[in-house]
Amino acid sequence: MSGHARLSSSNTKQWSTCAGSAAMDEFFPPAERSNNYFADMGTAAHHLVELCLREGSEPTKYLNRKILVLPDGGTSMLKASAIVPEEREGVFDCDVDMCEAVQKMTTYVRNRCAELGLIHYVPVIGAKDNDDKLYRVGDQIHAMSMGAAVAELVKRGTVRLEVHVTPLPDRDDTGGTGDVVIDAWPTLLEVVDYKNGSGVFVPVTGNMQLKSYGLGTLNEFGFDDYERVVYTICQPRHTEAPWDGIMSEEISVPELKKWGNWLYGRAEEVDVARKILSDGGNMAELHKAGLLDVGEDGSACTWCSRQASCPAYKDKAQAICEQDFAQPPEEFEEVKSNNHLSTLVPWVPFLRKWCDSLMANAEAALLSGETVSGQKLIQGTSNRKRKPDITDDAIVEELITKGQRDVKPMYNDPKPATLRTIPQLEKLLPAGQRKAFSDMFTEKPPGKRTMVHEDHPSPAVSVGDVGKDFDDEPEVPA
């Protein structure tokens, strides 16, 4: 099955909590994001994880190399000599940050294989403490590094990479891809998932995506063949994660099987929602049928694109606000009690997300030429940027012409040396020469159009000019 499953493992929490959202996305697909930079960065990091585990290498082997992420999700490690145009999208550096993060993932997988007895340490007479430790796999005679030993497990299929699984085998619209599966038969089966994000923390406790991977893996390997399942998340770049980024949870096979039965029921609810929409129904009918739900904490709505128009989201937001703010003044002290606040504070991100979604929808309406009462568009401000086609040599030559003979202060210290920014270089010149220098090499593009209240002192951008805002924007390179 090509492409992403409609009921994907990575989106299990959303569709199992809110059946209507999955059906809406199918019948009325949300607009594609023009810039999915952070998702593509995660794809690049996953490529490095797979490459290192498969060939037994360390991430630092690829330090300062570039990874290309194609629009279809394909990836490629570019040669060290590759020259990539600056405007080319989908190209990511294997910098120190990426290498350090991926190292925590590969280290965990390798240490875990040793802990589970899949590779065995080989004492070497005369070896020093700082020498590479040597291991063997099974009855293999030749000792090898830990990385090479795990790479041998990958060849044998004991450690599997990028494993496609189907958690509900009777439904071909479910599925996902687990990053690493460690097969320690007959004791344990472990699924390890790498999360590159530093913005949204992904807790492991009760994680439905990882449960889905575990369920799909057992469907393939056999429910009766293992005593327990462990699922692990490695999210090394997030401040809320442990120092090594590793978080694990264990679940018994019967418990996971029971959860799978529950998941079947949730998938059938999606079928009901699809039927309503295929018969010409709308979001209001889904809500009336009880097929729109924010869940216990609203986290299932995090990536949903319909928060501003969702009646279930609005009902929950209104209920929270009424619970806090609609109290008589004499009861306000009771509302502020710690016990009461503890029930409200976890919903703050939920409310903030709803408000942000409302504002984004209103601004989009204005940008498309519609009217939103009480709001208007103004021309925002912007920062100076370097003019296109201006070379470093031209800037340096101009500075020398104006009397700046020492070129060392023009460059940043890290090697290879890079030219400082125009504002930084201005400070090398007398105050009277700075503006002319800036005008020569920088420009200030029009700022982004922004929605404000109609009482804002800045002049409104007329509706007739809105289209020009998009005509002036350069096309995004492929």
**Separation between Cα atoms, residue 368 and residue 346, nearest integer Å:** 35
pLDDT of residue 303: 79
Taking the CB of residue 464, how many other CB atoms lie within 10 A of it?
8
Hunting for tokens 């990539």 — which residue is that? Answer: 84
Q: Do 90 and 47 contact (CB within 8 A), yes or no?
A: no
Residue 360 CB-half CA count within 13 A: 11
pLDDT of residue 472: 40
**Which residues, listed in sequence order, are joined to residue 76 by a DSSP beta bridge?**
68
pLDDT (mean) for 3-17:
86
pLDDT of residue 415: 56
Summarised one tens digit per residue, pLDDT across range 25-38 is: 888 887 654 458 88
- Alpha carbon 206 to its chain centroid, in Å, reads 19
pLDDT (mean) for 220-245:
93
In this structure, the strands spanning 228-234 and 188-194 are parallel
Summarised one tens digit per residue, pLDDT across range 153-180 is: 999 999 999 999 999 999 989 999 999 9
pLDDT above 70 coverage of the chain, percent: 86
**Separation between Cα atoms, residue 410 and residue 364, nearest integer Å:** 43
pLDDT of residue 257: 94
Q: Which of 328, 323, 313, 329 is nearest to 345 (CA)?
A: 323
In sequence order, which ranges of 331-472 are alpha helices (DSSP H)? 332-335, 338-344, 348-367, 392-401, 422-426, 431-441, 466-471
- Global pTM value: 0.70
Best mean pLDDT range from 207-216, 223-232, 376-385, 388-397: 207-216
Token pair of 465 as six digits: 């000019």
pLDDT of residue 7: 93
**Separation between Cα atoms, residue 104 and residue 106, nearest integer Å:** 6
pLDDT (mean) for 321-334:
53
Sign of CA dihedral 25, 28, 32, 33: negative
Which of 100-104, 227-231, 435-439 comes out lowest in average pLDDT? 435-439
**Separation between Cα atoms, residue 247 and residue 202, nearest integer Å:** 10
Q: Is the pLDDT of residue 331 over 60?
A: no
**Separation between Cα atoms, residue 438 and residue 360, nearest integer Å:** 35
